[in-house]
Structure 1
Amino acid sequence: MQSAIPRRAALGAALLAATALVAPPAQGAFAATTPVQVSVNARAGQATVPATALGVNDAIWDTTLGTDAVADLLGAAGVKMIRYPGGSYADIYHWETHTAPGGYVAPNTDFDTFMASARRTGAQPMIIANYGTGSAEEAAGWVRYANVTKGYQAKYWTIGNENYGNGRYGSAWEADDHTDLSPTQYANEVVAYADAMKAVDPTIKVGAVLTTPANWPDGIVASGDSATWNQTVLSIAGPHIDFADVHWYPGGGSAAEAIGKTQYIDDTVYALRQQINKFGGANAGKIGISLTELNVGVGQNTQPGAIFLADAYASLIANGVFTVQWWNVHNGIGTPSTVAGQTDYNDFGLLSSGTCTADNSVCEPALNTPFAPYHALKLLSSFLHPGDQTIRAGTDNPLVTAHAARRPNGDLSVLLINKDPDAAHDVAVSYAGYTPSAAAPTVLTYGNGDTAIHAGSATTLPAYSLTLLTLKPAAASTAPQAPTQVTASAVTDRTATISWTGVAKATKYEIYRANGAISEQLGETSGTSFTVRNLQPGKRYTVNVLARDNAGNQSWSSAPLTFTTGAPATSTCTVKFADVNDWGNGYVGQVDITNTGPAALTGWTLNYTWPTTWQTVSSGWSATWTQTGTDVRVTSDATLAANGGTTSAGFVGSYSGPNILPTAFTLNGTVCSIA
């Protein structure tokens, strides 16, 4: 069997260059005897769990792809979407002949066998149409065979796999026979593929390959191109696609660093959504996000893999990603090591392939033995059910992470992740907007070295563990339905008008701003809109709306609405901030400052704040640049003339996560307009 490990290693090296991590606090920074305060906030609703949320990858070089044993294991883990025919093989695979020139195709891995296995699992397929060596006609033929001839109702189709890896940006691992390797060529072909495929079945959903923010080659403009891969693809293909398809291999030099990479997820999805909204055209609001390859940097088969999978899946789904797919079902042994006291085979599979190292010195357990991430996925299927609403949860200890979800029947589930490999932690859980019954919760735990999920403690989290609490409500709800279609309009630097669709039985509506796991009420009204005031310029806000009836019963939270305030429409200064030349984890930036006021400025100071903790100024020129925390101060003794005096200053910026540019600046204390 040909393994994807060599290709994964090469890709991982490329991604690591762009994803160095701000290290988490030292493990001894919090005493294990101090109870961790966990806050669960039902007033801060997040995304609703889709039916396709929990996914995995399968590959035509995997001899077990169509077996009942594997299908049943995946079904038991709650897998609801399976991707086929497998990573880079998709760009050399021809479905009709079931061949992949230059690669290995295992027996009994053809499309019909895969579909039979997926159906036995209870999962929908995610099918990758061959872009690298295929054609729009070939893809349309596959749709015809799948949905017209066979009636498989295969809904989700992606055009290619990691096609930015075709050599356009220097690294080449993805097959691409096109003479033109540019993002423009890919985008134009996506349009042709989508048109041909939807002509056969207009109900299908077509996805285009994008790169994940802060991962190579995000931010890079290749020679001969006018924009980045994502901007180009979205600008051309946006009106023709239904979702954007991305991958994430964040790497990490240690287990602690690897599992800490999940800190980037909120901003990563936000940055990608901003790109889609900015460049995707009129269709942008309907373009979904799928993350179809994901794995951890250290401890793929041991507890770090389980912790990373649970934390990443829960975070991505809460941020509205409609499917998250582990790479992959089977992969093969790599270089074994010991991680947290357990043997790790450096195997990217959920299940053991039963293989040995080249010298037979180390062998994996028997074929299909579940590795730790499999058990994490199975626990997630108990945590997140289709139709659940994820809600915000947080803790006061960075070594303990919390996620929560509310079910239509009133139950509430809380996933607690102890990332401390050395110490158990006691927890005290509080609830806002939800009253649990007095009955003890159901508790499931998966710990380091465990071979199965088992009953656990609701108050003590074992070291390096996943714990799931499921609670019943104190009483059946008679509250009104949650408000829907929440939107923001007339957003300025200081105000925004929030509107929503009213619901029956509601006598008033409450507007809340989410601040971590805590919500602060911004106001209430009997109408269906509310103007929020006293906001800060250039700041991101997430709000929810809840309804109350005349008996005081409070509804579920609306879906979240996130918006960013701007700069003043008029001011006595303007600022233009630009990323001039980006190389994937750093860039040359330029700030142009104009004094539009009636008085000259003899000496000036520009201030702004980075939106994240991983953005820094490495060096600067034409002014004095200093950074304290996330605050940047740029000073000069020069004079800025009145009524249009302009100056420029430059810097080298670096980032290890999504590079979200600032949008609010003050010049000598005055908030500036944006040029």
Structure 2
Amino acid sequence: MSTLRIARPALALLTGAAVAAQLLTGVPAASADTPADTAPVSVTVNTRAGLATASDTAVGANHAIWDSNLGTNETADLLKAAGVKMLRYPGGSYADIYHWKTHTAPGGYVAPGTDFDTFMSGAKRTGAQPIIIANYGTGSAQEAADWVEYANVTKKYGVKYWEIGNENYGNGHYGADWEADDHADKSPAEYARNVVAYSDAMKAVDPTIKIGAVLTAPANWPDGIVAAGDQATWNDTVLSIAASKIDFVILHWYPPHNDVADVLTKTAHIPDMIHLVRGQIAKHAGARAADIGIAMTEINSGIAYNTQPAALFAADAYAGLMEQGVFTVDWWNVHNGIGTISTVAGHTDYGDFGMLSSAGCTGDVCEPPFNTPFAPYHAISMVSAFARPGDRFVRAATDEPLVAAHAVRRTNGDLAVLLINRDPDGEHQVKIGYDGFTPAAEAPTVQTLTNGATSVSTGHGGTATTQTLPPYSLTTLVLNPAAATTGAPAAPGQPTASDVTDKTATISWPVAAPGASPVAKYEIHRQKGAVTEQLGETPGTSLTVRNLVPGTRYTVNVIARDTAGRVSWASPPLTFTTGTPAKSSCSVRLRDTNDWGNGYVGSVDITNTGTAAVDGWTLHFTWPTAWQSVSSGWSGNWTQNGTSVTVTSTPDNGKLAPGASTSVGFVGAYSGPNVLPAAFTLNGALCTAE
């Protein structure tokens, strides 16, 4: 279990955020400067591989009642300039001690000028929607309902999003107790029962509001842990009881890390993190699953807070979460306060979680003047300019781990590409290739944030296909298409999958609106990184795709092509996972029987379901990610090569008569979302996975 650290707000007596991270400082090991003759980094952007659409609340930040500048015009104007479209109130763990009617937080500091109406005035000036945390820890459903009535009936503010509590798993039930909770029963079941009560009471006042329940982020404490007296994890318990009463789930993410370089790699966890959460929602919400959104209402690098590495992390994480359909990503915090001073990448880091300076001092070291933007502020402003509400993310990938890429297509036909150079010392030449888009010949508009810069620079430079990325930098290109895109069909609507087996799936989609010519056919494209492969085509609106790989996650898009050859933009993405054979000569069941947050005891049950006896067996499976491994195993001979795991029988369990079973076990380790394998072979035969 990762060490728990807490975000310490300025002038606060309680914490604003629980940070499952090791707060280290320093500069990552220097890499050699890129030699002039080094091959350029290959970047691929594929507009046929559509991802999620940027929501109108995607770029957000946290406000806290201990920040006396929460409602000032200067702060609001800075947030507006950064494109912040959602503001969270009243501030992390303070929410579970805050009583809105009296504007008090017993045990904590409440600054003047931070009441709800002042916050709403600032949010309006910013142009941001509010997201409000109802007091679960020391409050009641009636208190929350009264707040909804005041906000939306009396004042007509139209507050849409309401969270029930903050980090309520931190109430002592799992051993750490930073979150206030007056309930005698501190279990996830009790929290879920209260979510139901809060939802009923609050929606009785205003049925149009959206209610959010607190979950734990996969691979972040206490995810995976079943506490004493519980039957399941926090997430499974909460969703099993409250899924029918909520409209979104709430995640917080402060990635556990070893150092600066390590935290910059953690954004690779995002697709699997969100995939697992969507799977948990689908398991418990059934037909409502598609209507339950995901909100990341606290996020921070937890290291190098005010310097360029945090900016690189912020841009990569915001873009990565948005392209997975997270509807808001809210930085912790607008103002937070000075912490431990260090030097990172040649610049002073003040240990301040804030986007903006609080002008605090430690000894003879003082922060810059009040409201001076720190590096993450500039990164967040670049994200809001890069991916505007309504822009559709498309796949982008690179062949260099130190360079990351994201891309969006815009409704006017333009394309924007965000390039992130995570190399602290070496610039990188990049060569950009496009699939489904031809850029205009003129030089693109370029935005750049370099290490130590106090603002984002804008100009024209390089070409649409070649750019030079400075060390530790963010670069955004905005590209016009070479030719007008008018006349093409509209993108097909959201596809769905049915009758999914081990090797087939039926994909269906709504009819696409034609452009200048009738739609001739639809093509189904599978995403493989930034490359796509066509799985089939049809003149209709449904197709059964075949020859799929069992136990494999597929993401596909549908594209319409008209009789003149014009091609639509890609549909929204559809992700599904193929199963294993309904009948086989073997069956395998893998279970996580005891999890502690970054490791677990695994049990694998093997059954001979064939008609012939087995005399000696070899079990094989592959981990879905590179951060999963077998630490040790028993009742078999365990070996791992890369992500491939092989287990061979022992003299004691090698003979399996028809219908006979045996079990083997292992200790598994993971440092990211623990997506369990879905396909197994026994003596080369694909087994039925239970």
Normalising TM by the smaller chain, what interval?
over 0.9
Structure 1 residues 523 and 454: CA distance shift in structure 2, 3 A: same
Structure 1 residues 520 and 500: CA distance shift in structure 2, 3 A: same
Match of 2:580 among 563, 567, 578: 567
Contact kept? 1:83, 1:126, Cα under 8 Å: yes
Matches within 5 A, 1:92-241: 92-241=97-246
Contact kept? 1:235, 1:281, Cα under 8 Å: no
Distance in 2, matches of 1:494 and 1:101, equals 59
Distance in 2, matches of 1:254 and 1:482, equals 43
Distance in 1, matches of 2:374 and 2:47, equals 33
Structure 1 residues 608 and 277: CA distance shift in structure 2, 3 A: same
Distance in 2, matches of 1:251 and 1:586, equals 14
Contact kept? 1:486, 1:499, Cα under 8 Å: yes
Distance in 2, matches of 1:666 and 1:335, equals 52
Contact kept? 1:239, 1:282, Cα under 8 Å: no
Does residue 242 (structure 1) correspond to residue 255 (structure 2)? The answer is no
Distance in 1, matches of 2:152 and 2:524, equals 45
Does residue 267 (structure 1) correspond to residue 272 (structure 2)? The answer is yes
Distance in 2, matches of 1:589 and 1:331, equals 42
Match of 1:58 among 63, 88, 92: 63
Matches within 5 A, 1:589-628: 589-628=602-641
Distance in 1, matches of 2:195 and 2:223, equals 19
Matches within 5 A, 1:507-656: 507-637=520-650, 638-656=653-671
Paired residue secondary structure (1:484): coil
Structure 1 residues 2 and 416: CA distance shift in structure 2, 3 A: closer
Distance in 2, matches of 1:26 and 1:584, equals 32
Aligned-partner residue type, residue 118 of structure 1:
A
Contact kept? 1:262, 1:308, Cα under 8 Å: yes
Does residue 11 (structure 1) correspond to residue 18 (structure 2)? The answer is yes
Does residue 481 (structure 1) correspond to residue 481 (structure 2)? The answer is no
Contact kept? 2:32, 2:426, Cα under 8 Å: no
Residue in 1 aligned with 2:5?
Answer: none
Structure 1 residues 595 and 5: CA distance shift in structure 2, 3 A: farther
Contact kept? 1:608, 1:631, Cα under 8 Å: yes
Distance in 2, matches of 1:640 and 1:469, equals 62
Does residue 405 (structure 1) correspond to residue 408 (structure 2)? The answer is yes
Contact kept? 1:246, 1:292, Cα under 8 Å: yes
Structure 1 residues 192 and 398: CA distance shift in structure 2, 3 A: same
Residue in 2 aligned with 1:470?
Answer: 478
Shift of 1:27: 4.0
Shift of 1:206: 0.4
Distance in 2, matches of 1:329 and 1:500, equals 42
Residue in 1 aligned with 2:3?
Answer: none
Paired residue secondary structure (1:223): coil
Distance in 1, matches of 2:474 and 2:299, equals 19
Matches within 5 A, 1:323-362: 323-357=328-362, 360-362=363-365
Residue in 1 aligned with 2:305?
Answer: 300
Aligned-partner residue type, residue 83 of structure 1:
R
Structure 1 residues 579 and 29: CA distance shift in structure 2, 3 A: farther
Deviations 1:523-557 (A, max 9, x none): 11111111111111111111000001111111010
Structure 1 residues 291 and 45: CA distance shift in structure 2, 3 A: same
Distance in 2, matches of 1:640 and 1:68, equals 76
Long gaps (5+) in structure 1: none
Aligned length: 667
Aligned-partner residue type, residue 218 of structure 1:
D
Deviations 1:40-83 (A, max 9, x none): 10000000011000000000000100100000000000000000
Deviations 1:312-368 (A, max 9, x none): 0000000000000000000001011000001000100000000001xx221100000
Question: What TM-score do the two structures reach when normalised by structure 1?
Answer: 0.96
Distance in 2, matches of 1:53 and 1:440, equals 29
Shift of 1:663: 1.2
Deviations 1:180-224 (A, max 9, x none): 000010000000000000010000000000000011111100000
Shift of 1:417: 0.5
Shift of 1:476: 2.0
Residue in 1 aligned with 2:679?
Answer: 664
Shift of 1:2: 5.5
Long gaps (5+) in structure 2: 1-7
Distance in 2, matches of 1:488 and 1:9, equals 42
Contact kept? 1:509, 1:527, Cα under 8 Å: yes
Contact kept? 1:401, 1:417, Cα under 8 Å: yes
Residue in 1 aligned with 2:512?
Answer: 503
Distance in 1, matches of 2:145 and 2:508, equals 42
Of 31-40 and 344-353, more deviation after overlay is shown by 31-40
Shift of 1:9: 10
Distance in 2, matches of 1:94 and 1:582, equals 37
Structure 1 residues 29 and 495: CA distance shift in structure 2, 3 A: farther
Moved beyond 6 Å, runs of 4+: 4-10
Shift of 1:640: 3.1
Structure 1 residues 345 and 251: CA distance shift in structure 2, 3 A: farther
Question: What TM-score do the two structures reach when normalised by structure 2?
Answer: 0.94
Identity level (%): 66
Distance in 1, matches of 2:638 and 2:458, equals 55
Does residue 381 (structure 1) correspond to residue 384 (structure 2)? The answer is yes
Residue in 2 aligned with 1:444?
Answer: 447
Of 256-265 and 115-124, more deviation after overlay is shown by 256-265
Contact kept? 2:340, 2:350, Cα under 8 Å: yes
Distance in 1, matches of 2:44 and 2:11, equals 41
Contact kept? 2:15, 2:178, Cα under 8 Å: no
Contact kept? 1:43, 1:556, Cα under 8 Å: yes
Aligned-partner residue type, residue 315 of structure 1:
G
Contact kept? 1:640, 1:646, Cα under 8 Å: no
Distance in 2, matches of 1:298 and 1:240, equals 37
Distance in 2, matches of 1:674 and 1:455, equals 54
Contact kept? 1:37, 1:429, Cα under 8 Å: yes
Contact kept? 1:513, 1:520, Cα under 8 Å: yes
Distance in 2, matches of 1:503 and 1:10, equals 45
Contact kept? 2:55, 2:390, Cα under 8 Å: yes
Shift of 1:25: 11
Deviations 1:86-135 (A, max 9, x none): 00000000001000000000000000000000000000000000000000
Contact kept? 1:425, 1:463, Cα under 8 Å: yes
Paired residue secondary structure (2:582): coil
Shift of 1:16: 5.3
Distance in 2, matches of 1:162 and 1:573, equals 43
Contact kept? 1:30, 1:397, Cα under 8 Å: no
Of 436-445 and 105-114, more deviation after overlay is shown by 436-445
Output the aligned Cα RMSD.
Answer: 1.8
Residue in 2 aligned with 1:395?
Answer: 398
